[in-house]
Amino acid sequence: MIFACNDLSLVFSNPRTTEALANVSFTVEQNEFVCIVGPSGCGKTTLLRIIAGLLPPSRGEIVFSGNDDCQRPATAMVFQQQGLFPWMTVVDNVAFGLETRGVPKKERTSLAADFLSRVGLGGFLSAFPYELSGGMRQRVAILRAFLTDPHVLLMDEPFGALDAQTRILMQQELLTTWRDNPKTVIYITHDIEEAILLGDRILVMSGRPGTIQADILIDLPRPRTLSFRQHPQFDAIYQQVWQIIESEVREGITR
Amino acid sequence: MARKKNKANGSANHFSYGTLILVVGFLLLWEAGSRLGLISRMFFPPPSTILQTLYRLIANGRVIDSARATLNRLVLGSLLGITPGILLGVLMGWSRRLRALFDPLIAATHPIPKISIFPLILIIFGIGEISIVIVIAISAFFPALVTSMTGVAQLDQVYFEVAKNYGASRWKTFSRILLPGSLPSILSGVRLGLTTALLLTIAVELLSAKQGLGVMIWFSWQTLRVEELFATLIVVALLGIVINSGLRVLFARLAPWSPEHTGQTSTAIK
């Protein structure tokens, strides 16, 4: 086990008391890819922000047990959008995680440049984010998180704003990057299909207050590609997840 | 996923022949009207005469000396006003506590037309160059402060969250996120400060100075040398244009990623 959430709860008392998260507990193994799936408003982003240290929980704790190297940060997050700094070039953005760790400029720049070149972004080192498409920006943001080499990589619907076709390619690239640079990942999505494609495990959340309803192991072979959707187990898992969240989604559009 | 190139579509850079025709037509009408006596030749001398006067004023050095005096005041006053304005503005944008402390003072003093406190400054610092520079500095201080403060305060929170999540120290957050992130606002603070300072420089020169473009304007009015008045106005206008477009070019080099140059607004990306 590398990471554990123990009994996390979060209560907002403003303007009236709302319980955003209640008794969330789970553990994650080294280099495991865990997807958290839930309908919008179930508190999955809130949970991720707590893990990222951006929001203190009302109760409970988060334990990182793999602290072999305290130089490495606990987490690095890929935000939904806008995560890249518009004033930094692509290479400086990717090197930012190393910069905050005090890696000298020459070293971090060459590491970032190498990393970018390996996925075919070598021609964009000195481009600014505004010169890139939305998909490319997210690729760069993901590379930054990987290069920062945190104990746990956090992703908050990184492909949520992209069109469906681009998203397919991005998912494939993410899986390749992850295979070549094994990391512990917690990935948030509302897309059940995406969760099954990417994850070793799916945590299904429901909201008000946010709780974990199911912990589903996805014991399907890798590498997974588009054809993997025809796998008999795919449908079974899809149905299992959908049944848990269906009523809540229905509630959300009829209220 | 091709590289998207966003062409700046700033309307200020667009040149239209229609506008040129309009301007030339207006000048021709003026020239003809003045020469034919349809409008008063005394108050509206023909543009050709004004240009000749301008050439004479440049050749005999009068307008150059005056422009130099004006520029000296402008630069000195702006430096003295814009520098602390931006420093305080950035700090106030950065620290909620500083903002709470100074904001009421700024809100109360900012709307005062700065030319109106010139007599007060004369009483304190005496008649002379010091008072002139001080009133210019004060006028440049406020727009520089308010613009840079707003820019810092409105910087998207997500950048600070990324910095925090990636373990950036307070100094890194300041130097790598806050300062470059608000650079476009700081630069427009500089431009606004300079524009206001130019306004005040000419205004104060009209009131009280021994040399300068404002002095020339006032003097030519009092002696009814209207063609000199117009010639000097051309120089003042050119000064304003050069300052503004010079800064625009400089800023495009300093912050090429700024929404102002890329034609994107930050809300459009969201």
Q: To the nearest whole angstrom, how far is the Cα of A81 from the nearest Cα of chain B?
A: 7
Please indicate whether, in this complex, the C-beta atoms of A81 and B183 are within 8 angstroms of each other: no
Q: pLDDT tens-digit profile of A56-72? A: 999 999 888 865 666 78
* pLDDT number for residue B8: 44
Q: pLDDT tens-digit profile of B88-135? A: 999 999 888 999 999 999 999 999 999 999 999 999 999 889 999 999
Q: Residue B57 pLDDT more than 60?
A: yes
Task: Give the Cβ contact number of residue B144 at 10 Å.
Answer: 29
Assigned token pair, A209:
């207050």
* pLDDT number for residue B263: 63
* Half-sphere exposure at residue A221, Cβ-oriented, CA atoms within 13 angstroms: 5
Please indicate whether, in this complex, the C-beta atoms of B269 and A131 are within 8 angstroms of each other: no
| Helix H or strand E segment including B243 | helix B226-254
| Helix H or strand E segment including B11 | none
Asked whether residue B255 is assigned to any structural domain, the reply reads yes
Number of structural domains (chain B) is: 2
**Residue B126 burial (CB < 10 Å; 0-12/13-18/19+)?**
exposed
Residues of B in contact with A135 (CB under 8 A): 1
Nearest to B46 by CA among B226, B220, B233: B226
Q: Residue B268 pLDDT more than 60?
A: no
Residues of A in contact with B257 (CB under 8 A): 86-87, 128-130
What is the CATH number for B94? 1.10.3720.10
End-to-end CA distance of chain B: 19
Whether residues B80 and B195 fall in one domain:
yes
Mean pLDDT over residues B209-224, rounded?
92
Whether residues B82 and B129 fall in one domain:
yes
Please indicate whether, in this complex, the C-beta atoms of A76 and B164 are within 8 angstroms of each other: no
Whether residues B30 and B69 fall in one domain:
no
At B51, the pLDDT band (50, 70, 90 cuts) reads: very high
Residues of A in contact with B183 (CB under 8 A): 87
DSSP string, A184-209: EEEEEES-HHHHHHH-SEEEEEETTT
- Cβ-nearest to B166 among A76, A127, A166: A76
Assigned token pair, A176:
């390749």
* pLDDT number for residue B6: 44
Task: Give the Cβ contact number of residue A251 at 10 Å.
Answer: 12
Q: Among residues of chain B, what percentage have pLDDT more than 90?
A: 74
Asked whether residue B44 is assigned to any structural domain, the reply reads no
Residues of A in contact with B167 (CB under 8 A): 73, 97, 100-101
Q: To the nearest whole angstrom, how far is the Cα of A239 from the nearest Cα of chain B?
A: 33
Nearest to A8 by CA among A19, A22, A18: A22
- Cβ-nearest to A87 among B1, B166, B181: B181
The mean-pLDDT minimum among A91-105, A169-183, B8-22, B36-50 falls in B8-22
A53–B contact, CB cutoff 8 A: yes
Asked whether residue B217 is assigned to any structural domain, the reply reads yes
Q: Residue B204 pLDDT more than 70?
A: yes
Candidates B1, B6, B174, B265, partner chain A, best to mutate (most A CBs within 10 A): B1
Quote the crossing angle between the two packed helices B213-222 and B183-207, to the nearest 10°. Answer: 30
Please indicate whether, in this complex, the C-beta atoms of A100 and B4 are within 8 angstroms of each other: no
Q: Residue B249 pLDDT more than 60?
A: yes
Task: Give the Cβ contact number of residue B30 at 10 Å.
Answer: 18
- Cβ-nearest to B1 among A82, A101, A136: A136
A3-12 vs A33-37, strand pairing mode: unpaired
Whether residues B67 and B31 fall in one domain:
no
Dihedral sign computed on CA atoms, order B269, A122, B1, B6: positive
* pLDDT number for residue B228: 93
- The label of the residue with tokens 């524009």 reads B195
Assigned token pair, A163:
């069109």
Whether residues B169 and B202 fall in one domain:
yes
Q: Residue B4 pLDDT more than 50?
A: no
* Exposure string over A109-141, b if 16+ CB within 10 A, otherwise e: bebbbebbeeeebeebbebbbbbbebbbbbbbb
Distance separating alpha carbons of residues A100 and A92, to the nearest angstrom: 12
CA angle A97, A90, A173 (to 5 degrees): 85
Residues of B in contact with A77 (CB under 8 A): 161-162, 165
The mean-pLDDT minimum among B8-22, B34-48, B114-128 falls in B8-22
Asked whether residue B12 is assigned to any structural domain, the reply reads yes
* pLDDT number for residue A126: 92
Q: To the nearest whole angstrom, how far is the Cα of A250 from the nearest Cα of chain B?
A: 27
Mean pLDDT over residues B4-16, rounded?
52
Whether residues B63 and B9 fall in one domain:
no
Q: Residue B81 pLDDT more than 60?
A: yes
Largest CA distance in chain B: 77
How many residue pairs bridge chain A and chain B with CB atoms within 8 Å of each other? 81
- The label of the residue with tokens 């295979």 reads A179
* pLDDT number for residue B270: 32
Whether residues B29 and B161 fall in one domain:
no
A222–B contact, CB cutoff 8 A: no
DSSP bridge pairs for A10? A21
Asked whether residue B214 is assigned to any structural domain, the reply reads yes
Q: Residue B5 pLDDT more than 50?
A: no
Candidates B165, B176, B183, B266, partner chain A, best to mutate (most A CBs within 10 A): B165
List the single residue in A with minimal CA-CA distance to B261.
A130
A214–B contact, CB cutoff 8 A: no
Residues of A in contact with B169 (CB under 8 A): 100
* Cβ–Cβ < 8 Å for B214, B201: yes
Low-confidence residues of chain A, pLDDT below 70? 66-70, 255
Q: Residue B239 pLDDT more than 90?
A: yes
Quote the crossing angle between the two packed helices B62-94 and B47-59, to the nearest 10°. Answer: 90
3-class secondary structure per residue, A67-84 = CCCCCCCCEEEECCCCCC
Mean pLDDT over residues B144-159, rounded?
92
A180–B contact, CB cutoff 8 A: no
Q: Residue B48 pLDDT more than 80?
A: yes
Asked whether residue B106 is assigned to any structural domain, the reply reads yes
Whether residues B257 and B131 fall in one domain:
yes
Quote the crossing angle between the two packed helices B226-254 and B213-222, to the nearest 10°. Answer: 160
Residue B134 amino acid letter: I
| Helix H or strand E segment including A60 | strand A59-64
Mean pLDDT over residues B167-185, rounded?
92
Asked whether residue B132 is assigned to any structural domain, the reply reads yes
Residues 158-177 of A with CB under 8 A from B: 166
Asked whether residue B45 is assigned to any structural domain, the reply reads no
Please indicate whether, in this complex, the C-beta atoms of B270 and A96 are within 8 angstroms of each other: no
* pLDDT number for residue B208: 83
Please indicate whether, in this complex, the C-beta atoms of A97 and B262 are within 8 angstroms of each other: no
Whether residues B28 and B63 fall in one domain:
no
pTM to 2 decimals?
A: 0.82
* pLDDT number for residue A69: 63
Whether residues B155 and B245 fall in one domain:
yes
Summary mean pLDDT of chain B: 88
The domain in which residue B13 lies consists of 1-35
From residue A117, alpha-carbon distances to A94, A138, B163 in Å are 12, 16, 25
Whether residues B9 and B62 fall in one domain:
no
A81–B contact, CB cutoff 8 A: yes
A82–B contact, CB cutoff 8 A: yes
Please indicate whether, in this complex, the C-beta atoms of A100 and B156 are within 8 angstroms of each other: no
A75-78 vs A59-64, strand pairing mode: unpaired
SS3 content of chain B, % helix, strand, coil (to 5): 80, 0, 20
Whether residues B199 and B121 fall in one domain:
yes
* Chain Cα centroid distance, residue B101: 28
Q: Residue B209 pLDDT more than 90?
A: no
* pLDDT number for residue A67: 59
